[in-house]
Chains A and B, each alone.
Chain A
């Protein structure tokens, strides 16, 4: 069956460039999460959407990070003026529920900033 998909799978950006990472959640899933996973670390929460509403963006590390989910399905994570410390795998997860979240993860986008 169709799971969570993310594109691109790999992205190389020069420092200072803007990037956009896409997430296609499982159809019908209300909840959507973005995580950042640095090498050798666990995922770190970035932001949460319930349908099109961004209910929690407490994990976004700076105002260079921006996420949207305008129609309550596909989501985009945008990073402006990328820095080397932004290099990581960005994971998207979706969940059917609103309160308790069994999260289904995508394969991630590996971002390398040179």
Chain B
């Protein structure tokens, strides 16, 4: 069955430092991959997506992610974190073959130190 793993439950970085959030997936075919951000009391907002083509994708708010098929990974990166980036980040894959089901990871909560 398809699955998404986000190994880091919490990450703390200093403002201005670089960031990498990990995402590993298990998927039978070429996956459609997504990163979403959820701020407290807010719905999820799409940061970026990968469907095909260039494996390095750019998103909003200065985020980027790289699809690595050999490692089944889709890690999210940002070169310099801002205090406003503190939120929960979710990786997602889908839809599951033959369904419309998208599978989300359990999330990584990012804390930014001033």
Contact = CB atoms under 8 A, between A and B. Distances in A.
A44 B32 contact: no
Contact of A44 (B42, B99, B104): B104
Given A31-B100, A44-B104, 20 more contacts: A35-B104, A40-B106, A41-B106, A42-B4, A42-B92, A42-B104, A42-B106, A43-B44, A43-B90, A45-B102, A56-B99, A56-B100, A58-B101, A59-B101, A100-B51, A101-B94, A101-B102, A102-B34, A102-B46, A105-B44
Nearest to A91: B43
Nearest to A104: B46
B45 interface: yes
A55 B100 contact: yes
Nearest to B45: A105
Contacts of B100: 31, 33, 45, 48, 55-56, 101
A72 interface: no
Interface residues of B, number: 25
Interface in A96-114: 100-108
B53 interface: no
Contact of A56 (B41, B49, B101, B107): B101
15 contacts: A31-B100, A33-B102, A43-B44, A43-B90, A45-B103, A56-B101, A58-B101, A59-B101, A91-B43, A91-B44, A102-B49, A103-B46, A105-B43, A107-B41, A107-B42
Nearest to A46: B101
Interface in A1-53: 4, 31, 33, 35, 40-45, 48
